[in-house]
Amino acid sequence: MATLSIDDLDLRGRRVLCRVDFNVPLDSDDGATTVADDTRIRAALPTIRKIIADGGKAILMSHLGRPKGEPDPTLSLRPVADYLDDLLDGPVHFCEDTVGDRARTMVHNLPEGGVLLLENTRFNPGEKANDDAFARQLAELADVYVNDAFGTAHRAHASTEGVTHHVPRAAMGYLVAKEIEVLSKVLDAPDAPFVTVLGGAKVSDKIGVIENLIGTVDHILVGGAMSYTFMKALGQQTGSSRVEEDKLDQAKSLYEQAEGTLQLPVDHVVATAFSADAPHRVTQGEIPEGEMGLDIGPATVEAYREKLLGAKTIVWNGPMGVFEMEPFAKGTFAIAETLAEATDAGALTIVGGGDSVAAITQAGYAETVSHVSTGGGAMLTFLEGETLPGIAALSQK
């Protein structure tokens, strides 16, 4: 059976409670708080516009930051409502509560085709706890429910999973549907050669993905600090590089299971300290004592580039180094540029994870690659072959 889509719903005159992912960075310079990156807001626009065009009442809810279950003025969604008002040419109403009398009244008074953004769901402790009473209060605002927040679909929270048990119909929005369609192709029928690029700080974040893709993927290209855990697990020197000591046995086992498909850097950009100003150089093979690896080296870039340009399917999650510091950004930005070239050559290219998305955006290739996922954690969970609670809870056709 297929999951219900927003296109399967009659929205006219209905209260459409829509979970979006407006967990966006805010900029508070000059005393005014504004949205610093609107990528996730723009990603939700097709679903919001569908509700408006069909004459539904768009009641939007989202979390923002980690307010620990109580109101935090610095994490209010009001600046997001103001920003969305401009994107939609208004008006976007804002409710200072998430549930309760004020929320019910504003929903009741909302005209057909109107938009209302509720306050941060995580201001209520019942959100993360998936409290049934809080979920019921959310459901009181709805005739139908739409989940368009892929970035939180791997969390069983009240606004993503709990609420679905108290509404007649729960459907996926356009953003979620697109994410599931693209990522399902990777798991079910990837065009070969299939290459995945995994980086970032921790092997532990990627263990499930590597285990699930072994046997399907042709090459796993590893970079970032997680590569040093693999190196140390294989008996190589890593100097003062970041290593997950408690994951060495697991890393060695994964490397052996991969049977030659998991490739580690052959050279590194190393420095004497974790600083953009620290002396740095390129070293081959192992990393000497007193130095730490902070990026993949030029020989690794070329080796990875060759694999990527020969691929038909590419998934990238995690930077190759500390790309926030200019001396250690070349590896990450080279991967971004190569993915753009591979896309132009006909490959399906998918980028996910906050740092990778930031890098592909900074490099200017976010519009070139095939798909930029809005949910790093949800993407990894999906690629691990695990169930996403926020999707599994939706109604079936």
3-state secondary structure of 280: strand
Angle at the Cα of 75 from the Cα atoms of 113 and 162, rounded to 5 degrees = 60
- Catalytic site residue from 104, 202, 252, 305: 202
- Name the DSSP class of 91: -
* Whether residue 202 lies in the annotated active site: yes
Name the one residue in this structure whose structure tokens are 């807001």: 41
Taking the chain, what is the end-to-end CA distance rounded to the nearest angstrom? 6
DSSP code per residue over 31-87: G--EES--HHHHHHHHHHHHHHHTT-EEEEE---S--TTS--GGG-SHHHHHHHHHH
In contact, 40 and 151? CB cutoff 8 Å: yes
Separation CA 323–CA 359 (nearest Å): 8
Give CA–CA dist 88/85, Å, rounded: 5
Catalytic residue flag (residue 354): yes
Angle at 182 between CA 179 and CA 188, to 5 degrees: 125
Contact 319, 223 (CB under 8 A): yes
Catalytic residue among 55, 113, 310, 377: 377
Q: How many CB atoms lie within 10 A of CB 109?
A: 11
C-alpha to C-alpha distances, 271 to 133, 244, 292, 322, 388, nearest whole angstrom: 53, 19, 6, 12, 40
206 catalytic per annotation: no
Separation CA 120–CA 371 (nearest Å) = 28
Q: Examine the residue annotation and report whether 155 is marked as an active-site residue of this protein.
A: no
> Phi/psi of residue 243, each to 5°?
-140, 140
Closest CA to 173 of 187, 155, 158, 160: 160
Check 40, 50, 122, 232 and give the catalytic one. Answer: 40
d(CA 99, CA 102): 7
Instruction: Scan for tokens 């046997």, then name that residue.
Output: 215
Which residue of the set 69, 208, 310, 354 is catalytic? Answer: 354
Q: Is the dihedral of CA 237, 240, 246, 250 positive or negative?
A: negative
Q: Active-site residues: which are they?
A: 40, 202, 354, 377
